[in-house]
């Protein structure tokens, strides 16, 4: 019996030593290595064994790789937090809920969650969001050679994707026109959305009160600069017959690289992080359908029982205790009662026992 147990222990130890994780110094190193290998493999296949490589796009490729490094660093640091681990772990289990497709469309395509804040803010987010997505869907495949165009002598373009000829279109046809100008359309969308955002931040008193240049304005200026310099390239080629194209292409390329490097560490990071909002929505809806946690003061169901328990567990992991002398945890109170309870702690008056609700308790947005 002891011999069998010893063998199992040795086998487990050998498995641990032979694990792929031991080949890397950290999760970050492993993620970067696998990501770069994946990009190289896809580029190898997409460019037909590197026979169709555009050297003019190498700067964007380097910027993208640096962006991936920053993204993995930020995501891993964020993902290691106890609350995030819970959302990711349970979100993956709930990924195949019937409501997931609808939730994904609302959060990632139509931005319905912003609609309650007003049609103006919804429009600006839609323009910026889809403008950036269109630019990404066009730029990255071109940079890594997953998509390119070849032209024969007959005046037709052949669209090649992942090394396979997808379709042949006339050089002056509608499909070719939209293909040539996809980045111009995305730039116009981003410029319009950014100008709307800047106008609101300058005119709206609430926005002006809590905004900063580095966090709120600089991302918008970066997007604006990238979009304007991109449109300038088209203007130079069409109206100036290419005069100054080299200088403007370098300015545009460096502006894109700087934006990619900045992206994981500023406000724009919510663009690549946005898909995880589907996890959070599924988590709230699924456990809310099972049972709701009633507020210990007013008895209103405010979150799911699962979420309330998870909050208390996470606070315990971080050695933060909010167990009150009144016999409940602060996380077991709804937000209005929680705010009134805090007032009670400072004033000495049991304001949390007052049944009057806040005027804006059910406000949307």
Residue 216 CB burial class (10 angstroms; 0-12, 13-18, ≥19): middle
Of residues 134 and 328, more confidence is placed in: 134
The average pLDDT across 208-231 equals: 90
- Going by the DSSP 8-state scheme, the letter that residue 268 receives in this structure is G
Residue by residue, DSSP assigns 92-149 as HHTTT-TTHHHHHHHHHTS-HHHHTT-HHHHHHHHHHHHHHHHHHHHHHHHHTTSEEE
**Res 365: pLDDT:** 43
Q: What pTM was estimated for this model as a whole?
A: 0.81
* pLDDT-based confidence at residue 206 (cuts at 50, 70, 90): confident
Q: What is the pLDDT of residues 313-324, one digit of tens each?
A: 888 877 777 777
Residue 28: which of 63, 78, 90, 64 has the closest Cα? 78
- Please name each of the domains of the chain with its CATH number: 27-277 (1.20.950), 291-353 (no CATH)
**Token reading at 154:** 């007959």
Cα separation, 118 vs 123, in Å, equals 9
Query: Which of 2 and 105 is assigned the larger pLDDT?
Result: 105
**What are the φ/ψ torsions at residue 233 (nearest 5 degrees)?**
-60, -45
Q: Could you tell me which of 271, 268, 258 has the C-alpha nearest to residue 216?
A: 268
pLDDT band of residue 12 (cuts 50, 70, 90) is low
pLDDT tens profile 33-87:
888 899 889 888 888 888 888 888 888 988 888 898 889 888 888 888 888 889 8
pLDDT(11) > 60: no
The confidence band for 4, taking pLDDT boundaries of 50, 70 and 90, is: low
Contact yes or no for 279/94 (Cβ under 8 A): yes
């Amino acid at each position: 019996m002891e011999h069998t147990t010893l063998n199992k222990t040795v086998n487990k130890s050998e498995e641990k030593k032979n694990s792929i994780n031991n080949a890397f110094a950290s999760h970050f190193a492993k993620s970067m290595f696998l990501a770069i290998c994946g990009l190289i493999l896809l580029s190898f296949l997409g460019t037909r064994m590197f026979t169709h490589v555009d050297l003019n796009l190498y700067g964007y490729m380097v910027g993208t790789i640096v962006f991936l490094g920053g993204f993995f660093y930020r995501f891993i640091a964020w993902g290691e937090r106890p609350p995030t681990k819970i959302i990711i772990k349970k979100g993956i289990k709930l990924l195949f809920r019937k409501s997931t497709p609808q939730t994904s469309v609302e959060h990632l395509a139509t931005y319905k969650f912003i609609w309650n804040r007003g049609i103006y803010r919804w429009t600006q987010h839609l323009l910026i969001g889809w403008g950036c997505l269109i630019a990404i869907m066009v730029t990255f495949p071109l940079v890594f050679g997953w998509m390119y165009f070849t032209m024969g002598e007959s005046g037709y373009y052949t669209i090649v994707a992942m090394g396979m000829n997808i379709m042949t279109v006339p050089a002056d046809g509608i499909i070719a026109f939209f293909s040539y100008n996809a980045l111009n359309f995305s730039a116009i969308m981003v410029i319009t959305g950014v100008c709307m955002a800047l106008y609101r931040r300058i005119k709206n008193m609430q926005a002006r009160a809590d905004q900063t240049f580095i966090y709120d304005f600089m991302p918008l200026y970066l997007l604006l600069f990238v979009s304007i310099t991109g449109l300038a390239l088209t203007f130079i080629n069409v109206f100036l017959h290419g005069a100054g194209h080299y200088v403007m292409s370098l300015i545009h390329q460096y502006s894109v690289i700087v934006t990619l490097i900045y992206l994981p560490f500023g406000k724009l990071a919510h663009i690549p992080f946005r898909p995880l909002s589907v996890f959070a929505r599924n988590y709230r809806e699924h456990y809310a359908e099972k049972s709701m946690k009633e507020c210990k003061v007013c008895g209103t169901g405010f979150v799911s029982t699962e979420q309330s328990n998870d909050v208390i567990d996470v606070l315990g992991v971080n050695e933060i205790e909010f167990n009150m002398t009144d016999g409940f945890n602060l996380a077991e109170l709804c937000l209005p009662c929680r705010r009134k309870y805090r007032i009670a702690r400072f004033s000495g008056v049991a304001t949390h026992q007052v049944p009057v609700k806040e005027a804006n308790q059910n406000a949307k947005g």
